[in-house]
Structure 1
Amino acid sequence: MSAALDEVRERLRRFASDVEKASPLYSYLAGNAANDDDVARLLAVATEPDPELLLAAVQRVLQAEPFHELTNYYATLGGAYGPDNGLWQMWRAFALERADRVRALVTTRRVARGNEVGRAALFYPAVAFAARQAGGGPVGLLEVGASAALLLGIDLYSYRYQSEQAGQVAAGPGRAALGLHCALRLEPSGQKGPTIPKRLQVAERVGLDHDPVDLTDEDEYAWLEACVWPDQPDRLRQLGAAATVRAKKTPILVKGDPVADLAGAAARIPAEIPVVVLTSDALRPFSAERVTAFRAAVAELAAARPTFWVSLEAYSVGLHPDHPELDTPQAILSCARWVDGEELTTPLAQTSWHGERMHWLG
């Protein structure tokens, strides 16, 4: 059943506003799509009318036509043009002339948010925080909504954190195939920042997803590339480097439901190893009831074995009702643990969605 066109247009408008600074290209395209019923209808057939889904679908179709003039606006496809007066009509014509292919992708694909590799720079100090809470030894990582499970390699990447107060802090293997940079903000002046160890000890890594991505499948990998915003080519480079690392250190991938199959996925981690559950913008499509069910499933797991939940989610997910000051468009990085059955959630940082910046809350 298609989504109401008014809802689709409103989602496109909201997305255009939210990404105006981060992605001028996608802000421009989404804003115009919101005022064009023919284009909006391409997204209305989706079960979940996510604006990124439409934009990724068009980019995936464009990947197959590398000499089309439209590629000049896609830095990920070698282009160098910014949005101009000729872009919208060209993009609109391209999408509508290939409407069948675009609709086929919109109705069968999901946005691969879990593969935002830059977020590893956010998770690294947060997982270190959880590991210290667990006693300082090795942990097992269980990513929910893992897609291709690229974030499960956080201990295999190198990091540079830059702050005014502490200068540059390095972490991770010195010769890692992928290096990530993150600007670190500390407030007030003199506040202690995150403890960033040189190494993380990861004993096991498990990814749980409805449809885990096979990186050896060319079409699957091309879709991951299409989900990268085209005016952010550094993210495409990070995706490629992380895929190379992932091929050498393959995690366990479990096909299943994030609620019903959580305990079964966790059982893949040896019982003596604390579990750190990771979610990376995975709860956004969930209803409030579904979020509650997921939290209950993690709590049930925590009742059976040492379990921590490190999340990078929106305030609207409802993890921090006692912190209205965190209700901003930024992501919230948190760590939850359970003591005598009670959930204790610590907000650690407000961050950009792609890992470039982090405001540590202390």
Structure 2
Amino acid sequence: MTHSIPQLPEEIAKALAFQAKACRDLASPFAAAVCEALAQSLDENSAFGRRISSWGARAKADALALRAAGALHFLARSGKAPALAAAYPPNAFDAAALAREIERAIDEHDVFLAGFLDRPPQTNEAGRSSVILGGALIVAAATGLPLETLEIGASAGLNLNFDRYAYDLRVGAFGAPAAELRLACDWRGAAPSLETALRIVSRAGCDIDPLDPSDAEHRARLLAYVWPDQMERLARMEQALVLAAARRERVERADAGDWLATRLSAPPAGSLARFVYHTVVWQYLPPETKRNAMATLEAAGAAATPETPLARLQMEADGDTRSAALTLTLWPGGESFALGRADFHGRWIEWSGAGPHRAT
């Protein structure tokens, strides 16, 4: 049976339309079609539809469209909805069949789909490690120091390992040739020098709802947030999860503001640069968490010295659905640099050439 409601609330319709455009801009027409099918299929006869249609003004900020699409992808991958899976890649794309099977899935798996919306999306995209690598090289070059790396919104910790991957960056290669995961990223513009010595002395991350790469259900949830027609990303995620599961580091369950306050209140262990980074995370943080994190960074920055500098790398959305803005702030001094822009999934980076330079 086909259901419909006269009109979705404006904020919900806009959130779905925005995400559909973003998916198309990032070469995922199938994910865009899922968002559009949801806009046509949702009704108040299902708990899934009622929850989505009543989400309110935070629909876009809470990435509601990605939550809903992730729920359907998880279900399609689970083996519990074979007809839905048949409408998903790698099978041929048929928009009408997809819309029909989404309606069927909502009818038959309503409780599961509604419950899946409880948790925010986890987009622990290993491809973003190319951005983190570039920022770390810039900080290492400017300070001449080893780095203590601190990631907020670290999810399953895949990008804690950014220096352990191998890279093909068009401007050159980086990392051990025998690394088990090799990332390709088109570095354009005034790219950071790959000759810079990069030494990571410690690494840690936090997340309000961390995922464990060694847990099968957690791995399935993380893979569900990868857009179904981006098979290369799915393969990369699976390999990064295997590597992360074999490492000893695990992401701490903590509020980002509280975690930074604890981490940055302790004195640095010798001469090193503290390197705080986050990728497509800031938009999801509650306002109070953002205020606390900023207050902590500013206080720690005020205490930073040339021997114990503090850096913050941001890869965050700024309204352009095609790419993210890259910003680096370095203390002492607190000067911010617009480093360039990057594809949200790490396919390319356009480096501006801006950045700090080492004092001579």
Query: What TM-score results when the alignment is normalised by the length of structure 2?
Result: 0.84
Matched, 1:112 2:114: no
Contact 1:45 1:106 in 2 (8 A): no
Matched, 1:282 2:281: yes
Moved more, 46-55 or 95-104: 46-55
Q: State the distance in 1 between where 2:267 and 2:79 align.
A: 44
Distance 1:199 1:338, change over 3 A: closer
Q: State the distance in 1 between where 2:101 and 2:332 align.
A: 57
Equivalent of residue 72 in structure 1, options 86, 94, 105: 86
Identity %: 25
Equivalent of residue 345 in structure 2, options 330, 354, 360: 354
Q: State the distance in 2 between where 1:197 and 1:84 align.
A: 48
SS in 2 for 1:212: coil
Amino acid across the alignment from 2:339: L
Partner residue, 2:243: 245
Equivalent of residue 258 in structure 1, options 253, 256, 259: 256
Cα deviation for residue 92 of structure 1 reads: 2.0
Amino acid across the alignment from 1:177: E
Moved more, 66-75 or 234-243: 66-75
Q: State the distance in 1 between where 2:84 and 2:265 align.
A: 48
Equivalent residues in 2 for 1:1-12 (5 A)?
A: 5-12=9-16
Give 5+ residue unaligned stretches, structure 2. Answer: 1-7, 354-360
Q: Which runs of 4+ in 1 moved over 6 A?
A: none
Q: State the distance in 2 between where 1:136 and 1:252 align.
A: 28
Amino acid across the alignment from 1:311: Q
* RMSD over equivalenced CA pairs, Å: 2.4
Amino acid across the alignment from 1:130: V
Cα deviation for residue 96 of structure 1 reads: 3.1
Equivalent of residue 338 in structure 1, options 331, 335, 353: 331
Query: What TM-score results when the alignment is normalised by the length of structure 1?
Result: 0.84
Equivalent residues in 2 for 1:1-362 (5 A)?
A: 5-21=9-25, 22-38=27-43, 40-44=49-53, 48=62, 50-65=64-79, 68-75=82-89, 79-107=90-118, 109-113=119-123, 115-133=124-142, 135-162=143-170, 168-186=171-189, 192-197=190-195, 200-266=198-264, 271-272=269-270, 273-286=272-285, 290-305=289-304, 306-315=309-318, 329-340=322-333, 343-362=334-353
Contact 1:172 1:198 in 2 (8 A): no
Cα deviation for residue 82 of structure 1 reads: 2.0
Q: State the distance in 2 between where 1:87 and 1:137 align.
A: 53
Distance 1:229 1:98, change over 3 A: same
Cα deviation for residue 195 of structure 1 reads: 1.4
Amino acid across the alignment from 2:214: T
Contact 2:312 2:330 in 1 (8 A): yes
SS in 2 for 1:86: helix
Distance 1:61 1:175, change over 3 A: same
Cα deviation for residue 44 of structure 1 reads: 4.0
Give 5+ residue unaligned stretches, structure 1. Answer: 163-167, 187-191, 317-326
